[in-house]
Structure 1
Amino acid sequence: MFCFSCCMPQAKETGKPFQDTKTLAPIANLSLKTDSVRQRYVAEEIEKLGKNNISAEIFTFHDLSVATNSFNADNLVGEGGFGRVYKGRIQGKIEEVAVKQLDRNGFQGNREFLVEVMMLSLLHHQNLVNLVGYCSEGDQRILVYEYMLNGSLEDHLLNTSPEKKPLSWNVRMKVAHGAALGLEYLHETASPPVIYRDFKASNILLDANFDPKLSDFGLAKIGPAGERPQVSTRVMGTYGYCAPEYASTGQLTTKSDVYSFGVVFLEMITGRRVIDNNRPSEEENLIEWAQPLFKDKKKFHTMADPLLEGVYPEKSLYQALAIAAMCLQEDAPSRPLISDVVTALEFLSADQ
């Protein structure tokens, strides 16, 4: 099994940290307001952002309607719990953009919007998606990102079809390493740290070179500061990816993200969804299926994605499964730091 004992790197200064906790106070204040006041409050906070030399542009609804051909269904590239994403092009600009129109029903969309704009305006790293701009006109809440040509990891890993070429082992390890670097920046460079809270394949976007960027920061949470080891919060996220201690108690730490990383990494190794009701009952839950196999090295090859057709280094498979198993430990303190995972993946990639 792969050992983390020699993998204790310093946090990489690969992005610009933010250090102004007062800037994030509006997020906490949202819970104190009635629905009618929240909408006005969000609009006011977003307006303040625009006056604080934030690099993201402020777009009008007309700008984005023109960019997406009136939010035409032909331009729809994705749909999730918080809204729809359209491909578009802003007038006067060469680059294509992704335009996410949040669901206008209720407070949740307002809060997601404010958190996302504030987080991505303050956090900058090559493995985080770039926020181009936003629109908060009337009851519209729209986010504009750089367009990621290859869609999401989920598109290539879990939504496969015979005509779609499966991701190679090397590309999977490259994506895992880049996604881990994004988490490392959030956990160990950003100050205070940020807990992503929604790490899953559909939130890992891939550019033209299959370099990954984390997206969708609406559930991100400012992590514990000082002596506090954890923060308490309402349990949110996607079933199957949440760490067991967070799902049961609402106690959130950076190790909760490490667990979620382990889930996605295991999906990348096996090609299986974390919850798949189309499989036999004993295989529906990926983690429960994998736990006994982790203990038997002779069965490691049975865990590799069949679409790989055996094209992977055996040593690399063993090391990857060891990393996943470490991240998926029930006891949160026993999980590695994400910087340890980054270093382990660097060793693994170097063996290719």
Structure 2
Amino acid sequence: MLKDAILGEEEFWAEVNIIGRIYHMNLVKLLGFCSDGTNRLLVSEFIENGSLDRHLFIGDTSKKVLGWTERFKIALGTARGLAYLHEECLEWVIHCDVKPENILLGNDFEPKIVDFGLAKLSKRGGIGSSISRIRGTRGYMAPEWASNLPITAKVDVFSYGIVLLEIVKGKRVSDWTMEEENESLDKMRLLVQMSNERHEIEESWVCYFVDLNLGHNFNKNQAKAMVEIALSCIDEDRNRRPSMNSVVEMLLAHEV
């Protein structure tokens, strides 16, 4: 149910038509819609395993821990879906609210991004989109939302970086900006820099980042790469953030 759609009837139909023609294996498929006055509904396919947050932030130790193979698949599939929205589909789309709650998981844990589309269409070239009000979820929002800079696809790259760290750690990294904790993004960047200067992968370095519930059941090279990619995605200078296509390429280089 669309509670904040402020589009006129003609504009609403035009955008729904565009979204209905967007298809990618890592995007939830739109099956239909309803527009009756102020009542507007979008109907999408049913995704069996629900959203990523329900599997990643389990809290209850009796629940099954999301395995490393599944985590890497989710990271790669989500990156592919965003890369398609940003650069490959008929109309470029900025998601504006990338977070675990908007990443659904199928039976084989293939990720599908949901809640993309309305009023988020981006002009070719990326600059000058018609987005005029703040969108997104606190903790996942890029700094340019608060600095009156033009909104580009790099806001999604920032949000993806936060999600990628959460996939690795199995906890809410997005809360670090709101709570006093010993762990911080600055400390993470320092550890990565020190490791790169030594040109080696230290087990203690990698284990600091990875979900303790996994024990030693993870790929150290993949974990190191995912953390480095995530930190590049959340650079405060959006010009230094990679594109989502580049993120896909970097992840594929570490696919087993």
TM range (shorter): 0.7 to 0.9
Gaps of 5+ in 2: 196-201
Aligned to 1:264: 163
Q: Which of 185, 188, 203 is equivalent to 2:102?
A: 203
Please state how far the C-alpha of 1:168 moved relative to its aligned partner.
Answer: 0.9
Separation in structure 2 between the aligned mates of residue 175 and residue 125 of structure 1, nearest angstrom: 15
Separation in structure 2 between the aligned mates of residue 170 and residue 241 of structure 1, nearest angstrom: 24
Task: Let me know the Cα RMSD of the aligned residues.
Answer: 2.7
Aligned to 2:134: 235
Number of equivalences? 243
Aligned to 1:307: 213
Separation in structure 2 between the aligned mates of residue 289 and residue 230 of structure 1, nearest angstrom: 35
Please state how far the C-alpha of 1:117 moved relative to its aligned partner.
Answer: 3.2
Please state how far the C-alpha of 1:200 moved relative to its aligned partner.
Answer: 0.7
Q: Does 1:162 align with 2:61?
A: yes
What pairs up with 1:153-232 in 2 under 5 angstroms?
Answer: 153-217=52-116, 221-225=120-124, 229-231=127-129
Q: Does 1:126 align with 2:25?
A: yes
Separation in structure 2 between the aligned mates of residue 112 and residue 289 of structure 1, nearest angstrom: 48
Q: Deviations over 1:21-74 (max 9, x none)?
A: xxxxxxxxxxxxxxxxxxxxxxxxxxxxxxxxxxxxxxxxxxxxxxxxxxxxxx
* Structure 2 contact 86–93 (Cα < 8 Å) conserved: yes
Separation in structure 2 between the aligned mates of residue 121 and residue 305 of structure 1, nearest angstrom: 37
| Larger of the two Rg values belongs to structure | 1
Please state how far the C-alpha of 1:130 moved relative to its aligned partner.
Answer: 0.9
Please state how far the C-alpha of 1:196 moved relative to its aligned partner.
Answer: 1.2
Amino acid at match of 1:260: S
Separation in structure 2 between the aligned mates of residue 223 and residue 204 of structure 1, nearest angstrom: 21
Gaps of 5+ in 1: 1-100
Separation in structure 2 between the aligned mates of residue 117 and residue 289 of structure 1, nearest angstrom: 44
TM-score (ref. length: structure 2):
0.84
Aligned to 1:90: none
TM-score (ref. length: structure 1):
0.62
Please state how far the C-alpha of 1:340 moved relative to its aligned partner.
Answer: 1.0
Aligned CA distance change for structure 1 residues 187 and 139 (closer, same or farther; 3 Å): closer
Please state how far the C-alpha of 1:110 moved relative to its aligned partner.
Answer: 5.0
Q: Which of 36, 42, 51 is equivalent to 1:152?
A: 51
Q: Does 1:337 align with 2:248?
A: no
* Structure 1 contact 111–218 (Cα < 8 Å) conserved: no
